[in-house]
Amino acid sequence: MKLTTAAKVNCATAAALREWVTKSVKPAVGKRGGGVASLKVVAHYSCRTRNNRAGGKISEHGKGNAIDIAAINLRNGESLTVLRGWRDRSQSKILRRVHRGACGPFGTVLGPDSDRYHQDHFHFDVASHRSGSYCR
């Protein structure tokens, strides 16, 4: 399985991504479309503030702790996109399952139901939270 864009992340983020793909993405997709071919990466390391807001706290992306995924691409060319698939009957079950499956490997999991900034992608990072994973 490949990433559509080479992603710069730290070792903890790479390990969490591998665990998520192995334990959640591949089982959720199964044999649909011939299986998983790649993940569409839309953000990784970038020295910036949260949501690119002036004066904001440094983003987990700025620490190499985060990766954003917009789609799961299948071997037959089909794409399960967060933007369209989250509310589409034919894709939502898989996308919601992989979203839930990211809670644990990652400390923060954000998707379309979290806020307006995450309507078209999943944000995953390895930040630690006192109460465990923060998943929305």
Question: What pLDDT is attached to residue 89?
Answer: 95
Answer whether residue 128 shows pLDDT above 90: no
Q: How many domains does the chain have?
A: 1
- Other CB atoms closer than 10 Å to residue 71's CB: what's the count? 24
Q: What is the pLDDT of residues 20-78, one digit of tens each?
A: 999 999 999 999 999 999 999 999 998 887 877 888 888 888 999 999 999 999 999 99
| CATH of residue 23 | 3.30.1380
List the domain range (segments joined by +) for residue 31.
2-135
For residue 40, the model assigns a pLDDT of: 98
pTM of the model: 0.92
